Each structure stands twice: as structure tokens, then as C-alpha cells.
């Protein structure tokens, strides 16, 4: 690499593409002796509307947060057990994934590289909501690496199933 990266961000959403990006982000962080921030954004906008207070309960937000934290802990555990990588922090944010990933989180944490999967959405969702990856690629305050290929090592994929949902 031409540039050494010190603080890498990898947003994850539970999709296969995000997990591929996570795999590559861990390896790039190892190669660069960098810190890795793993971020899950809970998109609360999908519950907003004229009756915003009645559409989502505190229990629902709590359950979503717990599920997100469990998922992020499993990623951290996988990185430690399979790559011996521990220079990793995980974060949960609420709001618009596009804006949080492209600008807000990067400003708060000083990330110099964002690694993300090509997309976690199907074609209809991309049409209706727009791709987060496309937005981040166009508006990010850091370099962006978009992962399109998977891990070739089947052993890693089999071990991951033990950790990931």
C-alpha cells in the first residue's frame, strides 16, 4: 500500500457482504498495525413518521441494541480467536447509516480508511432507499475501500459460522 492506515472503520450490518468486508478489514488492520473500529448503525428513521412515539417502543430499541451488541461481540471474538487480533473497538450508533458512516463517525474517531461491503440491500431496497455504500463512496471524509470478493479459505468460513449469527 502506498499509504499506511492507522485507524480503520468497517461498518457491519449482518449481511454477507459486510462480513467479507470485516474479514478484509481485520487483515488490513493487521498488515498496517492499525486500530479497527467496527460500527453497526441502527437505522431508527424507518420507525419515524407522524406518530413517531407510537411506532417504536423502548423495549424494541433495547432488543435491537442487545442484538447489535451480541453480533459485534461475536465479530470481536472471531478476530481474536482466528487472527489473534485484539486492536478492535465496536460501536453502536442510531440514525442515518449514510451520514453516520460517511462523516459523523469519521469526524469523531479520526478514521483514515473505511472498508465496507458492496451493498447489504437487495435491488428493491437500493431503489427505494439508495445504497449506503454509494453514498459513503461519494461523500466520505476518508479513503473508501469497497469489498466485492469473498474469503477464499473455507476453513475460516466454517469457523465463522460458530461465531456469527
- In order along its 165 residues, the chain shows pLDDT tens digits of 456 899 999 999 998 889 999 999 999 999 999 999 999 999 877 665 544 555 667 788 899 999 999 999 999 999 999 999 999 999 999 999 999 999 999 999 999 999 999 865 556 655 554 688 889 999 999 999 999 876 554 444 555 555 555
* Residue 101 is assigned to a structural domain of this protein: yes
* Residue 42 is assigned to a structural domain of this protein: yes
User: Could you tell me if 106 and 141 are in contact, meaning their C-beta atoms sit under 8 angstroms apart?
Assistant: yes
Best CA proximity match to 48, nearest among 34, 61, 62: 61
Q: How many structural domains does the chain have?
A: 1
- Report the distance separating Cα 26 and Cα 23, nearest Å: 5
pLDDT of residue 55: 61
Put residue 84 in one of left, alpha, beta given phi > 0 → left and psi -120 to 50 → alpha: left
- Exposed, middle or buried by CB within 10 Å (0-12, 13-18, 19+), for 157? middle
Helix (H, G, I), strand (E, B) or coil at 39: strand
Q: Return the C-alpha cell found at 141.
A: 471524509
* CATH number of the domain enclosing 112: 3.40.50.620
Distance of CA 6 to the CA centre of its chain: 17
* Residue 50 is assigned to a structural domain of this protein: yes
pLDDT of residue 163: 53
Q: Return the C-alpha cell found at 94.
A: 442510531
Pairing of strands 7-11, 88-94: unpaired
What range defines the domain where residue 78 resides? 7-163
- Report the distance separating Cα 73 and Cα 118, nearest Å: 23
* Residue 1 is assigned to a structural domain of this protein: no
* Residue 2 is assigned to a structural domain of this protein: no
Amino acid at each position: 500500500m502506498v499509504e499506511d492506515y492507522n485507524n480503520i472503520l468497517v461498518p457491519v450490518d449482518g449481511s454477507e457482504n459486510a462480513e467479507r468486508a470485516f474479514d478484509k478489514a481485520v487483515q488490513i488492520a493487521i498488515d498496517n498495525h492499525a486500530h479497527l473500529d467496527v460500527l453497526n448503525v441502527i437505522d431508527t428513521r424507518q420507525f419515524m413518521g407522524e406518530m413517531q412515539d407510537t411506532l417504536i417502543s423502548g423495549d424494541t430499541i433495547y432488543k435491537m441494541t442487545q442484538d447489535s451488541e451480541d453480533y459485534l461481540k461475536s465479530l470481536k471474538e472471531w478476530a481474536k480467536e482466528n487472527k489473534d487480533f485484539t486492536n478492535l473497538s465496536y460501536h453502536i450508533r442510531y440514525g442515518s447509516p449514510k451520514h453516520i458512516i460517511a462523516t459523523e463517525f469519521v469526524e469523531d474517531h479520526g478514521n483514515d480508511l473505511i472498508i465496507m461491503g458492496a451493498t447489504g440491500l437487495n435491488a428493491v431496497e437500493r431503489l427505494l432507499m439508495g445504497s449506503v455504500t454509494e453514498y459513503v463512496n461519494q461523500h466520505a471524509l476518508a479513503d473508501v475501500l469497497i469489498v466485492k470478493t469473498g474469503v477464499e479459505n473455507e476453513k475460516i468460513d466454517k469457523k465463522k459460522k460458530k461465531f456469527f449469527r
